[in-house]
Amino acid sequence: MSNTHADTVLFVRDTMLPQQEPPASTVGALGWAKANLFSGWFNTTLTILSALFILYLLSGLVPWFASPTWYAASLTECREILAGHEGACWGVIRERWLQLMFGFYPSELYWRPVLALVLLFVAVAPVLFADYVPSKLLGFTALYPFIAVWLLWGGTIWAPVMALLGFVVAFFVFRYASKQISPALALIAGVIAALLWWMVITPAITPDLSRLLPIGIEAVQSRQFGGFMLSITIGVTAIMCSLPIGILLALGRQSDLVLVKAICVGFIEFIRGVPLITLLFVASTLLNIFMPPGTNFDIILRVMIMVTLFASAYMAEVIRGGLAALPKGQYEGADSLGLDYWQSQRLIIMPQALKISIPGIVSTFIGVFKDTTLVSIISMFDPLGLSNAIRADTAWNGVYWELFIFIGAVFFIFCFSMSRYSMYLERKLQTGHR
Protein backbone atom coordinates (compact mmCIF):
# COMPACT_ATOMS: atom_id res chain seq x y z
CA MET A 1 0.00 0.00 0.00
CA SER A 2 2.80 2.34 0.89
CA ASN A 3 4.58 1.50 -2.36
CA THR A 4 1.46 2.32 -4.36
CA HIS A 5 1.11 5.63 -2.52
CA ALA A 6 4.76 6.43 -3.15
CA ASP A 7 4.31 5.86 -6.87
CA THR A 8 1.59 8.57 -7.10
CA VAL A 9 3.56 11.34 -5.33
CA LEU A 10 4.74 14.03 -7.76
CA PHE A 11 8.03 15.81 -7.18
CA VAL A 12 7.50 18.21 -10.13
CA ARG A 13 4.64 20.78 -9.91
CA ASP A 14 2.08 20.30 -12.66
CA THR A 15 -0.02 23.42 -11.84
CA MET A 16 0.85 27.13 -11.43
CA LEU A 17 -0.04 29.07 -8.34
CA PRO A 18 -2.37 32.04 -9.02
CA GLN A 19 -0.56 35.34 -9.44
CA GLN A 20 -0.63 37.43 -6.27
CA GLU A 21 -1.24 41.13 -6.07
CA PRO A 22 1.85 43.26 -5.31
CA PRO A 23 2.14 44.55 -1.74
CA ALA A 24 -0.20 47.49 -1.15
CA SER A 25 2.67 49.53 0.25
CA THR A 26 4.53 49.53 -3.10
CA VAL A 27 1.83 50.45 -5.65
CA GLY A 28 -0.81 53.11 -6.07
CA ALA A 29 -1.07 56.27 -4.04
CA LEU A 30 0.32 54.59 -0.93
CA GLY A 31 3.37 53.33 -2.78
CA TRP A 32 3.97 56.72 -4.39
CA ALA A 33 3.68 58.47 -1.03
CA LYS A 34 6.08 56.02 0.60
CA ALA A 35 8.64 56.44 -2.20
CA ASN A 36 8.38 60.21 -2.55
CA LEU A 37 7.06 61.66 0.70
CA PHE A 38 8.16 59.29 3.43
CA SER A 39 11.32 57.76 2.00
CA GLY A 40 13.46 58.91 4.92
CA TRP A 41 13.38 60.91 8.14
CA PHE A 42 14.21 64.17 6.31
CA ASN A 43 11.51 63.77 3.66
CA THR A 44 9.02 62.66 6.32
CA THR A 45 9.73 65.79 8.39
CA LEU A 46 9.35 68.07 5.36
CA THR A 47 6.10 66.33 4.39
CA ILE A 48 4.58 66.78 7.85
CA LEU A 49 5.65 70.44 8.08
CA SER A 50 4.31 71.12 4.57
CA ALA A 51 0.99 69.43 5.39
CA LEU A 52 0.62 71.51 8.56
CA PHE A 53 1.38 74.71 6.61
CA ILE A 54 -1.18 73.82 3.92
CA LEU A 55 -3.80 73.07 6.59
CA TYR A 56 -3.05 76.42 8.20
CA LEU A 57 -3.57 78.21 4.88
CA LEU A 58 -6.77 76.31 4.14
CA SER A 59 -8.16 77.07 7.59
CA GLY A 60 -8.04 80.74 6.68
CA LEU A 61 -8.86 80.58 2.96
CA VAL A 62 -11.78 78.14 2.94
CA PRO A 63 -13.98 80.18 5.34
CA TRP A 64 -13.08 83.34 3.41
CA PHE A 65 -14.09 81.83 0.06
CA ALA A 66 -17.17 80.07 1.49
CA SER A 67 -18.72 83.22 2.97
CA PRO A 68 -22.55 83.36 2.56
CA THR A 69 -22.59 86.74 0.81
CA TRP A 70 -23.65 85.71 -2.70
CA TYR A 71 -26.94 87.59 -2.55
CA ALA A 72 -25.66 90.72 -0.79
CA ALA A 73 -26.54 93.97 -2.55
CA SER A 74 -23.69 96.10 -1.16
CA LEU A 75 -20.47 95.93 0.81
CA THR A 76 -22.34 97.15 3.89
CA GLU A 77 -24.79 94.25 3.60
CA CYS A 78 -21.87 91.85 3.24
CA ARG A 79 -20.41 93.11 6.51
CA GLU A 80 -23.76 92.72 8.25
CA ILE A 81 -24.02 89.12 7.02
CA LEU A 82 -20.47 88.30 8.14
CA ALA A 83 -21.07 89.95 11.54
CA GLY A 84 -17.48 90.95 12.11
CA HIS A 85 -15.93 87.77 10.67
CA GLU A 86 -13.56 87.74 7.69
CA GLY A 87 -15.04 86.68 4.38
CA ALA A 88 -15.39 87.52 0.70
CA CYS A 89 -18.18 89.73 -0.58
CA TRP A 90 -19.31 87.67 -3.57
CA GLY A 91 -22.44 89.76 -4.09
CA VAL A 92 -20.46 92.11 -6.33
CA ILE A 93 -19.71 89.22 -8.72
CA ARG A 94 -23.36 88.11 -8.81
CA GLU A 95 -24.53 91.66 -9.52
CA ARG A 96 -21.81 92.81 -11.92
CA TRP A 97 -20.54 89.70 -13.71
CA LEU A 98 -22.48 90.57 -16.86
CA GLN A 99 -20.84 93.99 -16.89
CA LEU A 100 -17.43 92.37 -16.44
CA MET A 101 -18.20 90.14 -19.42
CA PHE A 102 -19.84 92.58 -21.84
CA GLY A 103 -18.97 96.06 -20.59
CA PHE A 104 -21.62 98.58 -21.61
CA TYR A 105 -22.91 96.53 -24.54
CA PRO A 106 -26.74 96.77 -24.74
CA SER A 107 -28.21 93.98 -22.64
CA GLU A 108 -30.88 93.16 -25.22
CA LEU A 109 -28.08 92.46 -27.74
CA TYR A 110 -25.98 90.11 -25.57
CA TRP A 111 -26.91 87.30 -27.95
CA ARG A 112 -24.67 88.81 -30.62
CA PRO A 113 -21.29 88.57 -28.79
CA VAL A 114 -22.33 85.18 -27.40
CA LEU A 115 -23.09 83.95 -30.91
CA ALA A 116 -19.81 85.41 -32.15
CA LEU A 117 -17.94 83.49 -29.43
CA VAL A 118 -19.71 80.22 -30.28
CA LEU A 119 -18.97 80.70 -33.97
CA LEU A 120 -15.33 81.42 -33.06
CA PHE A 121 -14.99 77.91 -31.62
CA VAL A 122 -16.59 76.50 -34.77
CA ALA A 123 -14.22 78.52 -36.97
CA VAL A 124 -11.01 77.50 -35.19
CA ALA A 125 -12.00 73.83 -34.84
CA PRO A 126 -10.81 72.75 -38.33
CA VAL A 127 -7.51 74.57 -37.72
CA LEU A 128 -6.80 73.31 -34.21
CA PHE A 129 -8.24 69.80 -34.58
CA ALA A 130 -7.79 68.99 -38.24
CA ASP A 131 -7.83 65.23 -37.57
CA TYR A 132 -11.31 65.29 -36.07
CA VAL A 133 -13.12 68.15 -37.87
CA PRO A 134 -13.92 68.03 -41.61
CA SER A 135 -11.83 70.37 -43.74
CA LYS A 136 -15.00 71.68 -45.41
CA LEU A 137 -15.37 74.04 -42.44
CA LEU A 138 -12.23 75.92 -43.53
CA GLY A 139 -14.45 77.98 -45.82
CA PHE A 140 -16.41 79.15 -42.80
CA THR A 141 -13.11 79.83 -41.02
CA ALA A 142 -12.17 82.28 -43.78
CA LEU A 143 -15.57 84.00 -43.57
CA TYR A 144 -15.72 84.17 -39.78
CA PRO A 145 -13.77 87.46 -39.27
CA PHE A 146 -16.28 89.34 -41.43
CA ILE A 147 -19.25 87.65 -39.73
CA ALA A 148 -17.86 88.46 -36.28
CA VAL A 149 -17.29 92.12 -37.13
CA TRP A 150 -20.84 92.43 -38.39
CA LEU A 151 -22.30 90.69 -35.32
CA LEU A 152 -20.32 92.79 -32.83
CA TRP A 153 -20.58 96.22 -34.43
CA GLY A 154 -23.76 95.74 -36.44
CA GLY A 155 -24.84 98.19 -39.09
CA THR A 156 -25.22 97.44 -42.77
CA ILE A 157 -24.08 94.07 -44.04
CA TRP A 158 -22.47 95.66 -47.09
CA ALA A 159 -19.46 96.99 -45.15
CA PRO A 160 -18.09 93.51 -44.27
CA VAL A 161 -19.10 92.23 -47.72
CA MET A 162 -17.06 94.94 -49.42
CA ALA A 163 -14.15 94.24 -47.08
CA LEU A 164 -14.31 90.57 -48.05
CA LEU A 165 -14.39 91.44 -51.74
CA GLY A 166 -11.17 93.42 -51.26
CA PHE A 167 -9.36 90.19 -50.31
CA VAL A 168 -10.96 88.42 -53.28
CA VAL A 169 -9.67 91.15 -55.60
CA ALA A 170 -6.19 90.90 -54.05
CA PHE A 171 -6.18 87.12 -54.57
CA PHE A 172 -7.10 87.28 -58.25
CA VAL A 173 -4.65 90.10 -58.92
CA PHE A 174 -1.88 88.11 -57.22
CA ARG A 175 -2.82 84.96 -59.10
CA TYR A 176 -2.77 86.71 -62.48
CA ALA A 177 0.32 88.81 -61.79
CA SER A 178 2.35 85.83 -60.48
CA LYS A 179 2.23 84.37 -64.01
CA GLN A 180 3.80 87.52 -65.40
CA ILE A 181 6.21 88.69 -62.70
CA SER A 182 7.92 87.35 -59.58
CA PRO A 183 5.75 86.24 -56.61
CA ALA A 184 7.05 89.07 -54.42
CA LEU A 185 6.03 91.75 -56.94
CA ALA A 186 2.73 89.95 -57.54
CA LEU A 187 2.05 90.07 -53.80
CA ILE A 188 2.74 93.82 -53.75
CA ALA A 189 0.37 94.25 -56.69
CA GLY A 190 -2.34 92.33 -54.86
CA VAL A 191 -1.93 94.47 -51.74
CA ILE A 192 -2.14 97.68 -53.80
CA ALA A 193 -5.28 96.42 -55.56
CA ALA A 194 -6.91 95.63 -52.21
CA LEU A 195 -6.03 99.06 -50.79
CA LEU A 196 -7.49 100.78 -53.85
CA TRP A 197 -10.66 98.72 -53.49
CA TRP A 198 -11.07 99.58 -49.80
CA MET A 199 -10.08 103.24 -50.00
CA VAL A 200 -11.62 104.27 -53.35
CA ILE A 201 -14.31 101.88 -54.51
CA THR A 202 -15.80 100.80 -51.17
CA PRO A 203 -16.62 104.33 -49.88
CA ALA A 204 -18.27 105.14 -53.22
CA ILE A 205 -20.40 101.99 -53.53
CA THR A 206 -21.36 101.05 -49.96
CA PRO A 207 -23.78 103.97 -49.28
CA ASP A 208 -25.70 103.28 -52.51
CA LEU A 209 -25.92 99.56 -51.77
CA SER A 210 -27.17 100.33 -48.25
CA ARG A 211 -29.94 102.49 -49.67
CA LEU A 212 -30.94 100.03 -52.39
CA LEU A 213 -30.79 96.91 -50.18
CA PRO A 214 -30.99 98.04 -46.53
CA ILE A 215 -29.87 94.78 -44.94
CA GLY A 216 -28.39 95.15 -41.48
CA ILE A 217 -28.78 95.00 -37.71
CA GLU A 218 -28.66 97.61 -34.99
CA ALA A 219 -25.30 99.37 -34.83
CA VAL A 220 -23.28 99.42 -31.60
CA GLN A 221 -20.60 102.04 -30.92
CA SER A 222 -17.09 101.02 -29.95
CA ARG A 223 -17.30 103.00 -26.70
CA GLN A 224 -19.95 100.49 -25.53
CA PHE A 225 -17.48 97.60 -25.79
CA GLY A 226 -15.83 96.46 -22.60
CA GLY A 227 -15.01 93.65 -20.22
CA PHE A 228 -13.80 90.30 -21.42
CA MET A 229 -15.60 90.82 -24.72
CA LEU A 230 -13.18 93.65 -25.47
CA SER A 231 -10.14 91.63 -24.33
CA ILE A 232 -11.16 88.59 -26.38
CA THR A 233 -11.89 90.72 -29.46
CA ILE A 234 -8.48 92.42 -29.34
CA GLY A 235 -6.61 89.28 -28.29
CA VAL A 236 -8.11 86.95 -30.89
CA THR A 237 -7.54 89.49 -33.66
CA ALA A 238 -3.90 89.99 -32.66
CA ILE A 239 -3.32 86.23 -32.36
CA MET A 240 -4.88 85.44 -35.74
CA CYS A 241 -3.06 88.19 -37.62
CA SER A 242 0.32 88.18 -35.87
CA LEU A 243 1.26 84.63 -36.93
CA PRO A 244 1.16 85.14 -40.73
CA ILE A 245 2.70 88.62 -40.43
CA GLY A 246 5.40 87.21 -38.15
CA ILE A 247 6.18 84.47 -40.68
CA LEU A 248 6.61 87.06 -43.45
CA LEU A 249 8.81 89.23 -41.22
CA ALA A 250 10.98 86.26 -40.25
CA LEU A 251 11.44 85.29 -43.90
CA GLY A 252 12.11 88.91 -44.83
CA ARG A 253 14.77 89.20 -42.14
CA GLN A 254 16.60 86.25 -43.70
CA SER A 255 16.10 87.49 -47.26
CA ASP A 256 19.02 88.17 -49.60
CA LEU A 257 17.27 91.32 -50.86
CA VAL A 258 18.92 94.18 -49.00
CA LEU A 259 15.89 96.48 -49.04
CA VAL A 260 13.46 93.82 -47.83
CA LYS A 261 15.85 92.72 -45.10
CA ALA A 262 16.48 96.29 -43.94
CA ILE A 263 12.74 97.04 -43.73
CA CYS A 264 11.99 93.86 -41.75
CA VAL A 265 14.95 94.30 -39.38
CA GLY A 266 14.09 97.94 -38.80
CA PHE A 267 10.44 97.17 -38.10
CA ILE A 268 11.21 94.28 -35.73
CA GLU A 269 13.87 96.11 -33.76
CA PHE A 270 11.81 99.30 -33.50
CA ILE A 271 8.67 97.52 -32.27
CA ARG A 272 10.60 95.32 -29.83
CA GLY A 273 12.43 98.36 -28.49
CA VAL A 274 9.24 100.30 -27.65
CA PRO A 275 6.88 99.38 -24.79
CA LEU A 276 3.39 98.31 -25.83
CA ILE A 277 1.83 101.02 -23.69
CA THR A 278 3.67 103.64 -25.79
CA LEU A 279 2.19 102.17 -28.98
CA LEU A 280 -1.25 102.22 -27.39
CA PHE A 281 -0.85 105.90 -26.53
CA VAL A 282 0.13 106.53 -30.15
CA ALA A 283 -2.97 104.64 -31.32
CA SER A 284 -5.19 106.52 -28.89
CA THR A 285 -4.01 110.12 -29.22
CA LEU A 286 -1.36 110.74 -31.87
CA LEU A 287 -2.61 108.66 -34.79
CA ASN A 288 -5.57 110.93 -35.52
CA ILE A 289 -3.19 113.85 -35.97
CA PHE A 290 -1.73 112.22 -39.08
CA MET A 291 -5.14 111.32 -40.55
CA PRO A 292 -7.08 113.59 -42.93
CA PRO A 293 -9.57 115.95 -41.22
CA GLY A 294 -12.91 114.33 -40.53
CA THR A 295 -11.54 110.80 -40.66
CA ASN A 296 -13.32 108.50 -38.22
CA PHE A 297 -10.74 105.84 -37.38
CA ASP A 298 -12.31 103.50 -34.82
CA ILE A 299 -10.38 103.39 -31.53
CA ILE A 300 -10.71 99.61 -31.18
CA LEU A 301 -9.42 99.14 -34.72
CA ARG A 302 -6.44 101.36 -33.91
CA VAL A 303 -5.66 99.33 -30.80
CA MET A 304 -6.03 96.06 -32.72
CA ILE A 305 -3.52 97.25 -35.32
CA MET A 306 -0.96 98.31 -32.71
CA VAL A 307 -1.29 95.13 -30.64
CA THR A 308 -1.06 93.03 -33.81
CA LEU A 309 2.11 94.81 -34.97
CA PHE A 310 3.62 94.44 -31.49
CA ALA A 311 2.87 90.72 -31.39
CA SER A 312 4.10 90.24 -34.98
CA ALA A 313 7.56 91.55 -34.12
CA TYR A 314 7.95 89.07 -31.26
CA MET A 315 6.41 86.29 -33.36
CA ALA A 316 8.96 86.95 -36.10
CA GLU A 317 11.85 86.39 -33.69
CA VAL A 318 10.29 83.17 -32.37
CA ILE A 319 9.87 81.82 -35.89
CA ARG A 320 13.37 83.00 -36.88
CA GLY A 321 14.67 80.88 -34.02
CA GLY A 322 12.85 77.87 -35.46
CA LEU A 323 14.33 78.55 -38.90
CA ALA A 324 17.82 78.87 -37.44
CA ALA A 325 17.40 75.54 -35.61
CA LEU A 326 16.91 73.61 -38.85
CA PRO A 327 20.03 71.89 -40.19
CA LYS A 328 21.44 73.12 -43.48
CA GLY A 329 20.68 69.75 -45.04
CA GLN A 330 16.95 70.56 -45.07
CA TYR A 331 17.57 73.55 -47.32
CA GLU A 332 19.92 71.52 -49.52
CA GLY A 333 17.35 68.73 -49.73
CA ALA A 334 14.71 71.20 -50.92
CA ASP A 335 17.12 72.49 -53.57
CA SER A 336 17.93 68.96 -54.71
CA LEU A 337 14.22 68.32 -55.33
CA GLY A 338 14.09 71.28 -57.70
CA LEU A 339 11.72 73.31 -55.55
CA ASP A 340 11.72 77.07 -55.81
CA TYR A 341 11.94 79.33 -52.75
CA TRP A 342 8.23 79.49 -51.90
CA GLN A 343 7.65 75.79 -52.56
CA SER A 344 10.53 74.78 -50.29
CA GLN A 345 9.30 77.12 -47.56
CA ARG A 346 5.72 75.86 -47.78
CA LEU A 347 6.46 72.15 -48.09
CA ILE A 348 9.70 71.55 -46.18
CA ILE A 349 11.20 74.43 -44.23
CA MET A 350 8.31 76.29 -42.62
CA PRO A 351 6.38 73.22 -41.32
CA GLN A 352 9.48 72.06 -39.44
CA ALA A 353 10.31 75.55 -38.17
CA LEU A 354 6.78 76.06 -36.88
CA LYS A 355 6.87 72.66 -35.21
CA ILE A 356 10.05 73.58 -33.38
CA SER A 357 8.63 76.99 -32.44
CA ILE A 358 5.32 75.78 -30.97
CA PRO A 359 6.22 76.54 -27.31
CA GLY A 360 7.45 80.04 -28.16
CA ILE A 361 4.46 80.75 -30.42
CA VAL A 362 1.90 79.77 -27.77
CA SER A 363 3.84 81.68 -25.11
CA THR A 364 3.62 84.78 -27.31
CA PHE A 365 -0.12 84.20 -27.79
CA ILE A 366 -0.65 83.98 -24.02
CA GLY A 367 1.39 87.12 -23.43
CA VAL A 368 -0.59 89.04 -26.06
CA PHE A 369 -3.90 88.00 -24.53
CA LYS A 370 -2.81 89.11 -21.08
CA ASP A 371 -1.40 92.37 -22.44
CA THR A 372 -4.88 93.38 -23.58
CA THR A 373 -5.42 94.63 -20.02
CA LEU A 374 -3.10 97.54 -20.84
CA VAL A 375 -5.89 99.20 -22.81
CA SER A 376 -7.30 100.38 -19.47
CA ILE A 377 -4.46 102.95 -19.47
CA ILE A 378 -6.01 104.66 -22.51
CA SER A 379 -9.49 104.79 -20.92
CA MET A 380 -10.89 101.63 -22.49
CA PHE A 381 -13.02 99.50 -20.19
CA ASP A 382 -11.33 96.12 -20.19
CA PRO A 383 -12.01 93.92 -17.11
CA LEU A 384 -9.49 95.84 -14.98
CA GLY A 385 -10.88 99.18 -16.14
CA LEU A 386 -14.39 98.00 -15.31
CA SER A 387 -13.27 96.91 -11.85
CA ASN A 388 -12.30 100.52 -11.14
CA ALA A 389 -15.68 101.69 -12.43
CA ILE A 390 -17.49 99.15 -10.25
CA ARG A 391 -15.55 100.18 -7.16
CA ALA A 392 -16.46 103.79 -7.86
CA ASP A 393 -20.05 102.86 -7.03
CA THR A 394 -20.76 103.72 -3.40
CA ALA A 395 -22.40 100.31 -2.88
CA TRP A 396 -19.16 98.49 -3.71
CA ASN A 397 -16.53 101.02 -2.71
CA GLY A 398 -13.86 99.03 -0.88
CA VAL A 399 -14.26 95.72 -2.73
CA TYR A 400 -10.92 94.61 -4.22
CA TRP A 401 -9.98 90.97 -3.89
CA GLU A 402 -13.26 89.52 -5.12
CA LEU A 403 -13.13 91.38 -8.44
CA PHE A 404 -9.47 90.64 -9.07
CA ILE A 405 -9.87 86.96 -8.17
CA PHE A 406 -12.77 86.61 -10.61
CA ILE A 407 -10.88 88.42 -13.39
CA GLY A 408 -7.74 86.38 -12.73
CA ALA A 409 -9.73 83.11 -12.77
CA VAL A 410 -11.24 83.88 -16.19
CA PHE A 411 -7.85 84.86 -17.63
CA PHE A 412 -6.38 81.67 -16.16
CA ILE A 413 -9.02 79.55 -17.91
CA PHE A 414 -8.18 81.03 -21.32
CA CYS A 415 -4.40 80.99 -20.86
CA PHE A 416 -4.32 77.51 -19.32
CA SER A 417 -6.42 76.20 -22.21
CA MET A 418 -3.92 77.59 -24.71
CA SER A 419 -1.06 76.05 -22.76
CA ARG A 420 -2.72 72.62 -22.66
CA TYR A 421 -3.41 72.78 -26.39
CA SER A 422 0.26 73.56 -26.97
CA MET A 423 1.22 70.42 -25.06
CA TYR A 424 -1.32 68.38 -27.04
CA LEU A 425 0.07 69.71 -30.32
CA GLU A 426 3.65 68.95 -29.29
CA ARG A 427 2.72 65.36 -28.45
CA LYS A 428 0.80 65.02 -31.70
CA LEU A 429 3.70 66.28 -33.81
CA GLN A 430 6.35 64.61 -31.64
CA THR A 431 8.45 67.73 -31.30
CA GLY A 432 10.51 66.37 -28.41
CA HIS A 433 13.75 64.45 -28.82
CA ARG A 434 13.67 60.77 -27.94
When pLDDT is cut at 50, 70 and 90, the band that residue 434 belongs to is very low
Contact by Cβ (8 Å): 154, 217: yes
pLDDT in tens, 391-407: 888 888 888 898 999 99
CA proximity to 355, closest of 427, 270, 291, 419: 427
Rg of the Cα atoms in the chain: 30
> What is the distance between the alpha carbons of residues 346 and 413, in angstroms, rounded to a whole number?
34
Q: Which pLDDT belongs to residue 27?
A: 62
Contact by Cβ (8 Å): 366, 415: yes
CA proximity to 331, closest of 321, 316, 341: 341
Amino acid at 340: D
Q: Which pLDDT belongs to residue 429?
A: 76
Max intra-chain CA distance, the chain: 123
Query: Where do the H-state alpha helices sit in 341-400?
Result: 341-344, 350-356, 358-371, 383-391
pLDDT in tens, 323-365: 888 888 877 787 787 777 777 877 888 888 888 888 888 899 9
DSSP 23-74: PTTTSHHHHHHHHHTSSSHHHHHHHHHHHHHHHHHHHHHHHHHT-S-TT-SS
pLDDT (mean) for 46-57: 92
